Amino acid sequence: MVIEELSHELVAYGRKNQMQDLYIYIQQENACVMFRKNTQLFSYRTFTKNVASQLISRFKYLGEMDVGEKRKAQLGAITYSLKQGQQRLRLSTVGDYQGKESMVIRFLYALRDEEPAYFFPEDVQIIFEKIQTERGLFLFSGPTGSGKTTFMYHLARHIKGRVITIEDPVEI
């Protein structure tokens, strides 16, 4: 299997199905590729350890990460070109004591101009009122994919004055 074609297949599938993460885990005898959408994990395929290592190396190369380093955690980001357009990806690798490396790829989607949907819409109005009348620290936390970054970006677009955000790694 050509690794370039496989990477295209995985990114295209993730984009088409609006997946949030792609996981490449090298196990004892083989490797597992899974996707996550919201709280659900979907097993996609299994590969040999060799194919998975080549796939991880390709994404690391594209993300300007150190391809030879397999023990230390690394972060990278790329804009991946597909026939359907470009897909922003954030890359993260981690190795274990046996030299097996795993990768997580986060799919980053552009924010739309329409009003975002929230779990607690009645609280949005309260927060909007607070940011218009008060100053200080506003802290937002929640699980992956819960809309923290989208909500803060939406708030920041409606505030007059200075806004400082701390996000690691930066998505928007």
pLDDT tens figures, 54-110: 999 999 999 999 998 888 889 999 999 998 889 999 999 998 877 789 999 999 887
- Single pTM value for the model: 0.75
| Token digits of residue 40 | 């659900």
| Residue whose C-alpha is closest to residue 140's, from 170, 110, 167, 108 | 167
pLDDT in tens, 151-160: 777 777 777 7
Cβ pair 75, 30 in contact under 8 A: no
Helix/strand/coil (H/E/C) assignment for every residue in the chain: CCHHHHHHHHHHHHHHCCCCEEEEEECCCEEEEEEEECCEEEEEEEEEHHHHHHHHHHHHHHCCCCCCCCCCCEEEEEEEEECCEEEEEEEEEEECCCCCEEEEEEEECCCCCCCCCCCCHHHHHHHHHHHHHCCCCCCCCCCCCCCHHHHHHHHHHCCCCCCCCCCCCCCC
